[in-house]
């Protein structure tokens, strides 16, 4: 089993917890691995590559359902291009909205930080900071 990885090794190399690996398996994002003679999961390099892809896609804002669709479409040929294009267009629109929201929040935050620095130390900035967060458009 020298070229195989145990779940802890796989998780560590991919930067996730072993519970995440099990979760991805249960939800069909990661294929079920072989089992060693002792019953331990034995992962290959392809599993590590796929796990890293899942993590990277999530960090870019893709939902697990979107990741699942993308992985399902991967390698299926040109007939799936329309589906991929639709996902890409939706992701682009969502990303542009998030960027606008973040830029607006950044500008508001920068203005408030400058203003708060000029105020007496006893001023209750925390409440104003909470209000600022609550009033932002949000970037879920």
Q: Whose CA is closest to 30, among 42, 5, 47?
A: 47
**pLDDT number for residue 137:** 75
Three-class SS of residue 132?
helix
| Beta strands at 34-35 and 41-42: parallel, antiparallel or unpaired | antiparallel
**Location of structure tokens 């669709």:** 69
Contacts 24+ apart (CB under 8 A), 101-110: 101/136, 101/137, 101/138, 101/139, 102/139, 104/136, 104/137, 105/136, 105/137, 105/139, 108/132, 108/136
- pLDDT, one tens digit per residue, over 5-44 is 999 999 999 999 999 999 999 999 999 999 988 989 999 9
Q: What is the pTM of this model?
A: 0.70
d(CA 27, CA 90): 23
Q: Residue ranges of the chain with pLDDT lower than 70?
A: 1-2, 75, 77-80, 122-123, 138-140
CATH of 1-62, one of 3.40.1280.10, 1.10.1660.10, 1.10.1200.10, 3.20.20.70: 1.10.1660.10
Q: What does pLDDT average to over the chain?
A: 87
Whether residue 136 contacts residue 101, with contact meaning beta carbons closer than 8 Å, is answered with yes
- Does residue 15 come out as left (phi exceeding 0), alpha (psi in the -120 to 50 range) or beta? left
3-state SS assignment for residue 35: strand
Residue 11's nearest CA partner among 46, 47, 35 is 47
């Amino acid at each position: 089993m020298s070229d195989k990885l145990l779940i802890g090794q796989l998780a560590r190399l991919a930067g996730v917890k072993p519970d995440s690996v099990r979760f991805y398996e249960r939800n069909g994002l990661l294929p079920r691995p072989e089992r060693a003679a002792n019953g331990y999961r034995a992962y290959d390099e392809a599993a590590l590559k796929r796990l890293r892809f899942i993590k990277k896609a999530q960090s870019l804002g893709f939902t697990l359902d979107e990741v699942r669709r993308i992985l399902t479409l991967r390698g299926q040929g040109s007939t799936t291009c329309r589906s991929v294009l639709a996902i890409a267009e939706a992701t682009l629109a969502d990303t542009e909205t998030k960027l606008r929201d973040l830029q607006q929040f950044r500008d508001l935050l920068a203005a408030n930080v400058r203003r708060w620095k000029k105020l007496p130390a006893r001023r209750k900035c925390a409440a104003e900071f909470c209000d600022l967060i609550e009033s932002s458009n949000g970037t879920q």
